[in-house]
Chain A
Amino acid sequence: MSELATTTAIRLDGVGKTFVDARTGAPQTVLDGFSLTVDEGELVALVGASGTGKTTLLHIVAGLSTPDRGTVEIGRPRLGVVFQQPRLLDWLPVRQNVVLALEAAGLDPDAADTVLEAVGLTRYAGSYPSVLSGGQRQRVAVARAFAVEPDLVLLDEPFSALDELTARKLRLLLQELWMSRPRTGLLVTHNPLEAALLADRVLVLAGSPARVAAEHRIERERPRSAEDPYLFDLHTRIVAALA
Chain B
Amino acid sequence: MGPAALFVVLAAAAWQLMAVLVDSVLVPGVGDVAGELVGIVVDGSFAQHLGITVLRVALGFALAFVVAVAAGIAMGRNEFVRRFGEPAVLLGLTIPGLVWALLCVIWFGVGLANPVIAVALSSAPALALTIYQGVRSVDPDLLEMAHVYRFSRTTRLRRLWLPALAPSLFAGARLGLSLGWKVIVLVEVFGMSSGVGYQLNNAFAEQNVAAVLAWTLLFAVVMAVLEYGVLQGLERRAGRWRKAVIV
Contacts and interface: CB of A to CB of B under 8 A. Distances in A.
A77 to B, nearest CB: 11
A79 B148 contact: yes
7 contacts: A63-B147, A79-B148, A83-B141, A103-B155, A104-B150, A127-B244, A130-B241
Return the 8 tightest CB-CB contacts between A and B, nearest first: A128-B244, A87-B145, A91-B163, A130-B244, A128-B241, A91-B241, A101-B149, A131-B244
Interface string A73-90: 000000101010101011
A83 B145 contact: yes
A83 B141 CA distance: 9
Given A92-B241, A128-B244, A131-B247, 13 more contacts: A62-B148, A63-B147, A79-B149, A81-B148, A83-B141, A87-B141, A87-B142, A89-B160, A100-B149, A104-B150, A104-B155, A130-B242, A133-B247
A63 B145 CA distance: 11
Interface in B119-158: 139, 141-142, 144-145, 147-152, 155
Interface residues of B, number: 23
Size class of the A contact interface (CB-based, 8 Å)? 20 to 34
Contact of A90 (B152, B155, B241): B241
B166 to A, nearest CB: 8
A113 to B, nearest CB: 19
Contact of B159 (A83, A87, A100): A100
Interface string A117-137: 000000000011011110000
A144 B164 CA distance: 20
- Kindly name the residue among B142, B148, B164, B246 whose own CB sees the greatest number of chain A CB atoms within 10 A: B148
